[in-house]
A and B are shown apart, each in its own frame.
Chain A
């Protein structure tokens, strides 16, 4: 079955830039979505269709795509950004959705 691969953890100091990657063979063909999840809360959509940001999401969250890897970039990381981050996409046919295993972002 199709898989998306994320690093289990990323650490960054406040004010620095955090980059979380997500790799999958079908990413050149299928859009990627990024979610932030804090303990006890539902996932919050940060980025959709690789690079689009929903209204209300701060500009310091951005998405990019290059080949089989998509990247969530958080510029000027704040303590409140400490959370789990998930990428989501679909297989080549668009029939089966899939989530990455999640990345725990630690703000040092």
Chain B
């Protein structure tokens, strides 16, 4: 059974850097057919794709947030890490990670991050 779990701070102060970790179980991040995305959803708003890391370590980022995002993976720990610099109140959202492979994608339950001083 494939499971994903997001973890990170509940509250972050404006201008700080947000670091989120996605821990994957039941699937190897070295699998050639996989990729992991980060997605967020501000309260009451739509889903927004942020970043994706492919199995070959190629990365892609949302055009509007590219300058603030970085994604990496540690295959040995089965973790994918997203960092977002210079956060603001508009970055308050539930952040999800999702695994895409040859079959159905798998999502984590999400973690709510509030940006507040």
Contact = CB atoms under 8 A, between A and B. Distances in A.
B60 interface: yes
A96 B60 contact: yes
A24 interface: no
B60 A99 contact: no
Nearest to A2: B63
A101 B46 contact: yes
B105 A102 contact: no
B104 A45 contact: yes
Interface string B35-47: 0010100000011
The contact size tier of chain B is: 10 to 19
B108 interface: yes
A102 B47 contact: yes
A7 interface: no
A25 interface: no
**Central interface residue in A43, A86, A97, by most chain B CB within 10 Å:** A97
A98 B47 CA distance: 9
Interface of A: 1, 33, 35, 37, 42-43, 45, 48, 52, 54, 86, 88, 95-102
